[in-house]
Amino acid sequence: MPKHLLSRAAAISPAPPSSAPRGRSLKSHVWATVLAAPLLGMAGASAWAAVPLVHSFSPTTLVTNQTALVKVILNNTANASAATGTNLTVPLAGLTVSNVISTCVPLGSLAIVNSGTPTAHLELSGGTVPAGSTCEITANVRSAASGTYPSDIAANALASSNGSNPDASSVSLVVNGVKPLVGAKTFDKNTLRGGETAKVTVTITNPNNLNFSALQASDGLPPQLTIATPSNLATTCGAGATAWDGPTNTASLTAGTIGPNTSCTFSFNVTPANPTAFLSMTAENKITGSNVSATDSSGNTANAGGDFSANVNVRTGAQIQKRFADDPVTHGSASSFTLRVTNHNLTPLTGISFTDTVPAGITVTGISGTCNGVTPTFTAAAVTLSNAALAPDSGCSFTVNFTGHNTGTGPITANNAPGTFTAPGGGAVSFGGGVVPNILGDQIIVNPNPTGPGNGSGGLSATKRFAKTAGTQTRTLNVVQTETFDLIVTLRNGSSNPATGVAFSDNLASMGAGFSVASGFASPAGLCGGTLTASGTSIALSGATIAAGGTCEVEVPVTVAANAARTSFENRIGSGTLNALTGVISGTPHTWAGVDWANVTVGPALSVNKTFMPATIATKDHAVSSALTIKINRATGAAEFTSLAFDDAFPAAGAPLTVNTTPLSNTCGGTVNITPQTAGAAGHITLTGGTITGAAGSCAIVVGFEADQDAAGSYTNSLAAGAVVAAGGVQNETTGSGTLTLDAKVATLGLSKRFDPILLSKMGETSTLTIEISNVDGTPKQTGVTLTDNLPFGMKVAPAPAASASPSCGATPTFAPTAGASVLTLTGADIEPGAVCTLTVVVTGNAVGNLINVIPAGNITTDPFPGWPSGMTNTGPAQATIQVPAKDASGAPVGLDLAVAITNNANGICAGSTTTYVVTVTNPGGADVGGASLVNMPPAGITYGNWTVMATGGAVPSAMTGSGALNETVSLPKGGKLVYTITASVDAAAAGPLTNTATVKLPVQAPALVDANAANDTASDTDPVTTGCVAGPGGTTSIPTLSEWALIALSMLLAAFALRRMPLPSGRRS
């Protein structure tokens, strides 16, 4: 080129690529070159021969099998002559290419080469780019496999008569896989009774930006359920069709449609399949993921990502249940059993008639109670109930008194099996409407009276019990491996003469392997005048003497082996066992003909559990750490652990996890070594010499792991059964596992809230509530953010709400609470990365007390994000409180008065029975009260079971049901009332009187709130406790015994008789 033309071109041409401005991308420089080229043409000639190019995908992100357009623009506008002989290769590795078109005329040749392979490309050969103009090459591309598909055209890759492309062009096509459909299923009832229907709703969510047709789903019902009449089959999935197939018990949806990022449902009604048959179980209704599918126009198919199910409790038919109060019983002793009839159906049950023929060994003596007003009849051998009726979902029970009858020489097993129940006239039991009840029988052992020749009114007998602490003997005991407990055998001499040479043996091996006398146990010398030897698995007493009417108690500590099986074991004493009881009474050998027993159930001494915290971490754009906690647990009662050891392996190098070689913490003692993973070899966390001693119930080792940036996948770390060991052979019997999920697309939203002011000066005063939602985890923009805040009792939106959402909540959020509302709702918010969405609203405090406003974890939802498997949520709750003093809207003090009452509506209670307490809390004061406390701790001897609460007058409990002692936060408007009904058990060893106290207190504030009538803040119920009694309406009925005064009188009479028989000093008798 002539020198003067070269200088002229240099003056107006763009800088060459090496001098691109700092901060400008290579791609923008290419476009600058393309746009500057016409200026060069205006200059009359190219200063440096070049044919710039740029290429692109449109769109840049799509789903498998969808089509994108690849476009290559060749720019010859800077040249006065055509670029002939143009050759170019456009790499499209892994993509399927079709429909290639070019405007570069004359074309030469343009070919698709190796479409769909790793070497796929477009090849232009001998093409022409017109002078002073551009031309394009376009083609359709797609892929059936997800992934990122780069296309890089290097600088100087194009060759032509006018030179090459001075800059490279690099683009990528992101192909996402089709996300699984998300299924969910619900019943509109928790419990479904006979004759009742429930609505089943199946919700299908499409998280893809795809329109699906041919949506189908099938729901095979479990055998306990069937379609109801009417079925009410319906769907919101477009014009889909619903159907029911009786033979397969299946509801189905076909030909449905579902749009991008939307949900639809299909629903139907179900009912119990057989209401006349007894059923009491939880039915799981599961839909397998493969039974939900849809197809889009590109041929993509999506199934549900996994099985999904819902459970419903099915209660149908009727039941007769029998329970003996005592086991064993002795000939002549009095006891009882209870018969309960239950109607599970939601329809009345009539014609309740049956005869219970009691087994040999039992003589019926009386009936206590009725079945819904119908009194059963009885003979010595049978109990009959005739034509009773029960309301829907109700029951009745009555008590049958009996005496044991066994004049034989050995024990009788009195088995009241279901077959002993018949219709009154014979045959199978059947109630009205063809309802066939389920019958649960029971059995006891009836021992003979312990008598022997010449030994007075009674002989030897024994009871066997287990105990962990003094005074807590029990027939059934739960222990753990390595624990030591007491075996207690109580020997009784019911004779009026002494028993000598009393002996028994107890071979612990008869229980099964794993039990032995505790190491170091020294047998007490002269126990009951005899010799006790106890070691290994043998316990033996010999040569003992038991006074007339006396007892001898043998107590031996027993240790459970470290490898004892985790199951139940029975230890028996008496007739037909290895552990017989013998003795001599009045010179006659005597062997007890009865049986007694005790059970022990063994649990594990050592267990291990593992957790990652957090369990799911977001790796988007940065490496993230998670802590693995290995927790070793020593069960209550287990011996101390020493020489604790384990070897925990984790994935070899190549997994996107790096371990921190120094433990973050270690409370197990000993030595922890951490060996990083290497290529082809797993890493290891090892412990040696660890201990769990003293009062400690566990120890933990915490180790840090770092996940690589943008890593994804799930990694499970497990310690198999037997991997954790301690001295003496203790080991974990179940696997402990923890799973860490790495997700490059998921993080959490922060949530906080506050009130200003937090201390109000009077009721009705306002405070500003501020809620902040933060998207600060370096995650992409969150769209469609929703939040619901249920204001607490006594708090409402103020008459002038002044509600607002900050600009960082997006362009179109909806947050418009109305005056007097008790629920705040945010919808449609969009939160950019690093932004904080701030909501404010003015509220009023209208109740005295501490008004606590809580937004629970998981409350926030977001629309699924392009390329994200799900939206984010808040992983923790947000809470704030305002205090409202006892002053009305004018500032004048108001009188407060909370009251509590407690009763069990009985004049006494029976040891070993149950009773029902009713605790009533009311607000007779002058203002609503929020955040009061109710406490009812039952006294020793009383154990609370389940409780329910009934609220009236707008009162609000912290829970509607619960169990155990009451320690509840309650809110009561003026005149409001909460009634708690509590089922309680009375310990068999309880001694009275027992006083049960309930207390209600105003919320704690400074200055303190004052209750105008403190006397009714506490209430008590006191009951005497009677043993050997039968619980009845309004109290207890004692089994007749001698009174204390009668016993004293009898003793004085016997003493006088003895004095009269004593000789006088002269030898004369009085």
Tens of pLDDT, residue by residue over 587-612, are 888 887 777 888 999 999 999 999 88
- pLDDT, residue 679, reads 74
Average pLDDT over residues 149-168: 89
pLDDT recorded at residue 15: 35
pLDDT at 954 over 70: yes
Q: 412 versus 40: which is more confidently predicted?
A: 412
Instruction: Return the pLDDT at 495.
Output: 83
Same domain as 474, residue 431: no
Q: What is the pLDDT of residue 849?
A: 87
Quick: pLDDT tens for 332-342: 889 999 999 99
Instruction: Identify the sign of the CA torsion 328, 332, 333, 336.
Output: positive
Alpha-carbon dihedral 25, 27, 30, 35, rounded to 10 degrees? -100
Residue-wise DSSP of 947-1009: EEEEEETT-B-S-SEEESSEEEEEEE-TT-EEEEEEEEEE-TT--S-EEEEEEEEPPP-SSPP
Q: How would you classify the pairing of strands 515-517 and 442-447?
A: unpaired
Contacts of 192 (CB under 8 A, 6+ apart): 198, 225, 270, 271, 272, 312, 313, 314, 315
DSSP H/E element including 572: strand 568-574
- Asked whether residue 126 is domain-assigned, the answer is yes
Angle between helices 3-12 and 26-42 (to 10 degrees): 130
The verdict on 297 and 273 lying in the same domain is yes
Cβ 15 vs Cβ 32: under 8 Å? no
For residue 128, being part of any structural domain is answered with yes
Encode 140-164: b = buried (16+ Cβ within 10 Å), e = exposed: ebbbeeeeebebebeeebbebbbbb
Q: Is it the case that residue 572 has pLDDT exceeding 90? A: no
Of 176, 209, 240, which residue is a domain's last? 176
| pLDDT tens per residue across span 977-1035 | 999 999 999 999 998 899 999 999 998 765 778 999 999 999 999 999 988 775 555 55
Band of residue 47 on the pLDDT scale cut at 50, 70, 90: very low
pTM score, two decimals? 0.47
- Which of the pair, 304 or 148, is modelled with greater confidence? 304
Residue 354 and residue 237 share a domain: no
Q: What percentage of residues in the chain have a pLDDT greater than 70?
A: 86
709 within 8 A of 582, measured Cβ to Cβ:
no
Do 106 and 181 meet the contact criterion of CB atoms below 8 Å apart?
Answer: no
- Whether 551 maps to a domain, the answer reads yes
Confidence grade of residue 1063 (pLDDT, cut at 50, 70, 90): low
Q: Which of residues 856, 884, 912 is at a domain's end?
A: 884
- 8 A C-beta contact, residue 899 and residue 1016: yes
* Burial letters 60-85, b for 16+ CB under 10 A, else e: ebbbbbbebebbbbbbbbbbeebbee
Q: Which helix (H) or strand (E) holds 476?
A: strand 476-480
What's the average model confidence in pLDDT over 948-972? Answer: 93
What are 492's two structure tokens?
């009784």
Cross-strand pairs, 849 = 884, 930
Instruction: Evaluate whether 779 touches 618 at the Cβ level (below 8 Å).
Output: yes
- Separation between Cα atoms, residue 875 and residue 854, nearest integer Å: 14
pLDDT at 590: 81
Q: What is the pLDDT of residues 635-652, one digit of tens each?
A: 999 999 999 999 998 876
Give which of 309, 304, 205, 212 is closest to 861, Cα–Cα: 205
pLDDT score for 1006: 57
| pLDDT over 90 (residue 1056) | no
If asked whether residues 551 and 582 sit together in one domain, one would say yes
Lowest mean pLDDT among 29-43, 123-137, 361-375, 397-411: 29-43
Question: What CATH number is associated with residue 839?
Answer: 2.60.40.1530
3-state secondary structure 861-911: ECCCCCCCCCCCCCCCCEEEEEEECCECCCCCECCECCEEEEECCCCCEEC
In the chain, % helix, strand, coil (3-state, to 5) comes to 5, 50, 40
Q: How confident is the model at residue 585 (pLDDT cuts 50, 70, 90)?
A: confident
pLDDT mean over 1039-1056: 55
Lowest mean pLDDT among 317-321, 360-364, 411-415: 411-415
Residue 1050 — very low, low, confident or very high, per pLDDT cuts 50/70/90? low
Domain's final residue, options 826, 859, 884 = 884
> In this model, does residue 1060 exceed pLDDT 80?
no
pLDDT at 510 (0 to 100)? 86
CATH number where 572 lies: 2.60.40.740
Which strands make up the sheet holding 616-618, listed edge to edge?
Answer: 616-618, 736-743, 713-719
pLDDT (0 to 100) of residue 1051: 59
Residues 586 and 484 in one domain: yes
In a domain, 838, yes or no: yes
Residue 126, H or E segment? strand 121-129
Asked whether residue 7 carries a pLDDT value surpassing 80, the answer given is: no
C-beta of residue 822 within 8 angstroms of C-beta of residue 791:
yes
Q: How far apart are the C-alpha atoms of 856 and 586, rounded to whole Å?
A: 77
How large is the average pLDDT for residues 496-500? Answer: 88
Cβ–Cβ < 8 Å for 617, 707: yes
Mean pLDDT confidence for 918-942 = 94
Per-residue confidence band for 872, with pLDDT thresholds at 50, 70 and 90: low
Residues shown for the chain:
1070
Report residue 42 as tokens.
Answer: 């205006």
Residue 578 is predicted with a pLDDT of: 53
Q: Is the pLDDT of residue 65 over 70?
A: yes
pLDDT value of position 587: 82
Residue 968, pLDDT > 90, answer yes
Whether residue 177 contacts residue 63, with contact meaning beta carbons closer than 8 Å, is answered with yes
- Classified as helix, coil or strand, 11 is helix
Tens digits of residue pLDDT in 341-389 = 999 999 999 999 999 999 989 999 999 999 999 999 999 999 999 999 9
Task: Name the nearest CA neighbour of 352 among 338, 340, 341.
Answer: 341
Q: Is 9 in the same domain as 127?
A: yes
3-state secondary structure of 566: coil
Verify that 9 and 143 share a domain, yes or no.
yes
- The band of 530, judged by pLDDT with boundaries at 50, 70 and 90, is very high
Q: Looking at the structure, tell me whether residues 521 and 620 fall in a common domain.
A: no
Instruction: Indicate if the pLDDT at residue 1055 is higher than 80.
Output: no
Q: Has residue 1061 been placed in a domain? A: no
1068 has a pLDDT exceeding 60: no
Same-domain check for residues 149 and 77: yes
Q: Per-residue confidence at 584, pLDDT binned at 50, 70, 90?
A: confident
- Quote the DSSP letter at residue 512: -
- Based on the fold, state whether residues 28 and 131 are members of the same structural domain: yes
What are the tens digits of pLDDT across the range 680-717?
788 899 999 999 999 889 999 988 887 776 777 778 88
Question: What average pLDDT score do residues 428-436 get?
Answer: 91
Read off the pLDDT of each residue in 771-789 and give the average, rounded to a whole number.
77
More confident residue, 745 or 570: 570
- Is 57 part of a structural domain of the chain? yes
Q: Which domain holds residue 923?
A: 899-1038
Same domain, 24 and 166: yes
Q: What angle do CA 157, 159, 165 make, to 5 degrees?
A: 55
Q: Is the pLDDT of residue 962 over 90?
A: yes
Chain-centroid distance, C-alpha 337: 37
Mean pLDDT computed over every residue of the chain: 84
More confident residue, 45 or 286: 286
Residues 834-845 have pLDDT tens digits of: 678 999 999 999
At 775, which helix (H) or strand (E)?
none
Give the total number of structural domains in the chain. 7
- In this structure, is the dihedral angle defined by the CA atoms of residues 720, 725, 728 and 732, taken in order, positive or negative? negative
Residue 744 CA, distance from chain mean position: 27
Residue 793 and residue 662 share a domain: no
Q: Which of 69, 73, 56, 68 is nearest to 137 (CA)?
A: 73
Distance CA 218, CA 240 (A): 13
> Is 503 domain-assigned?
yes
pLDDT at 406 over 50: yes
Flag whether 486 is in a domain: yes
